[in-house]
Amino acid sequence: MAKRALITGITGQDGSYLAELLLSEGYQVFGVVRRSSSQHFERIGHIQDQLTLLSGDLMDEVSLINVLRECRPQEVYNLAAQSFVQTSWLQPVLTGETTALGVTRMLDAIRTVDPSIRFYQASSSEMFGRVKSVPQNEETDFYPRSPYGVAKVYGHWITVNYRESYQLHASSGILFNHESPRRGLEFVTRKVTHGVARIQAGLDTQLRLGNLDAQRDWGYAADYVKAMYLMLQRDEPTDYVIATGISHSVRELCEVAFGAAGLHWEDHVVLDPAFLRPAEVDHLIGDAAKAQQELGWRCEVDFYGLIEMMVAADIAALTT
């Protein structure tokens, strides 16, 4: 019998890569999708005939219980969230309902339907915020700097708490930024690579950005979903930092992305205060030694390979 896995957030960047990985491992894959007036399954269109999509929402616990009863998974990957940091200042309550309390709803649904289900929570390096040590690992204290970061800290600790209170096999992956050609257009890497493609095609001349000094530890999403899967194969649940261990600034991102298209970023990038944040996370850099040792996890694509891949994909999408 094939193992069954349920993914919340299957229409998102990570959900699509994780679904591909689990299918390749022989799983029967189920995904939670929320009702919308228009369908947007672009990231999973190529595998949709191999997936079973079930209607549900992290805002509605009964829907989660019904989904679990219908698909009876052995593993649940909770990737759904309001995941854009900037939006979390505009919609802090919605962000808390989804990104924080949504985790409790899913954990309680698991307790109700089948406490033997293994659970993965998508925690975030944004929880480190104003960092307490460099690099950040599983022992580093949290100091979130956005409503999103605060919500993720809640989601993280409720996962730990349900593991300790109810002996659930619940693990939390503290993932640093990870990107791909499937990244949403609002996030800075994709905004830049998509902007480069449009400028090269003569569709735009400028790209408006905020803080160029921010530094992030950027990895490739397809590498990172492997860590999620590996965490749930362990006998004992625990938490892992997943990162490349190397960080770059937004300015360097611009240099590499524009350079990959034969352009100079200074000719096109315009600073726009509209993209500055009320509170910033200046520098994230992760230490994934625990995941490397215990999971055997490694990242295969580095920052330069990642950005070149994204630029090439955005250029190809505009020319086909």
| Residue ranges that bind ligand NAP, judged by CB under 6 A | 8-9, 11-15, 32, 34, 40, 57-59, 79-83, 98, 122, 124, 175, 177-178, 184
Out of 16, 83, 123, 124, pick the active-site residue. Answer: 124
Catalytic residue status for 77 = no
Minimum CB separation of residue 3 from ligand NAP in Å reads 21
| 221: CB partners within 8 A, 6+ apart | 13, 14, 17, 178, 179, 180, 182, 183
Piece of 44-52, 53-61, 182-190, 304-312 that binds ligand GDD (CB under 6 A): 182-190
Question: Choosing among ligand NAP, ligand GDD, none, which partner's interface includes residue 299 (Cβ < 5 to 8 Å by kind)?
Answer: none
Question: Choosing among ligand NAP, ligand GDD, none, which partner's interface includes residue 57 (Cβ < 5 to 8 Å by kind)?
Answer: ligand NAP
Half-sphere exposure of 289 (CA within 13 A, CB side): 6
> Radius of gyration (Cα) for the chain, nearest Å?
19
The tokens for 144 are 């979130």
CB atoms near residue 209 (< 10 Å): 22
CB atoms near residue 211 (< 10 Å): 17
Minimum CB separation of residue 90 from ligand NAP in Å reads 15
Question: Choosing among ligand GDD, ligand NAP, none, which partner's interface includes residue 186 (Cβ < 5 to 8 Å by kind)?
Answer: ligand GDD
Distances from the Cα of 251 to the Cαs of 262, 264, 278, in angstroms? Answer: 16, 12, 20
Question: Choosing among ligand NAP, ligand GDD, none, which partner's interface includes residue 11 (Cβ < 5 to 8 Å by kind)?
Answer: ligand NAP
Cβ-contact 220, 180 below 8 angstroms? yes
| Closest-CA residue to 220 (of 305, 138, 296) | 305
Q: Which position among 74, 91, 104, 211 is part of the footprint of ligand GDD (CB under 6 A)? A: 211
Measured from the CB atom, the residue of 61 and 217 that comes closer to ligand GDD is: 217
- C-alpha to C-alpha distance for 99 and 135, rounded to whole angstroms: 25
Residues 38-77 as x/- pattern, contact with ligand GDD by CB under 6 A: ----------------------------------------
Minimum CB separation of residue 194 from ligand NAP in Å reads 15
Out of 126, 162, 229, 247, pick the active-site residue. Answer: 126
As a dihedral over the C-alpha atoms of residue 133, residue 230, residue 235, residue 142, rounded to 10 degrees, the angle is: 20
- Please give the residues from 253 up to 292 whose contact with ligand GDD meets the rule CB under 6 A: 275, 277, 280-281, 284
Catalytic residue status for 27 = no
- C-alpha to C-alpha distance for 3 and 17, rounded to whole angstroms: 18
Catalytic residue status for 126 = yes
Tell whether residue 6 is a contact of ligand GDD (CB under 6 A): no
Q: How many residues does the chain have?
A: 320
Q: Which position among 88, 121, 177, 200 is part of the footprint of ligand GDD (CB under 6 A)? A: 177
CB atoms near residue 156 (< 10 Å): 22
Minimum CB separation of residue 89 from ligand NAP in Å reads 15
Residues 94-123 as x/- pattern, contact with ligand GDD by CB under 6 A: ------------------------------
Minimum CB separation of residue 276 from ligand GDD in Å reads 7
Q: Which stretches of the chain are DSSP H helices? A: 13-24, 61-71, 85-90, 92-95, 102-113, 147-166, 188-200, 221-233, 250-260, 289-295, 303-319
Instruction: Point out the residues that are catalytic.
Output: 124, 126, 148
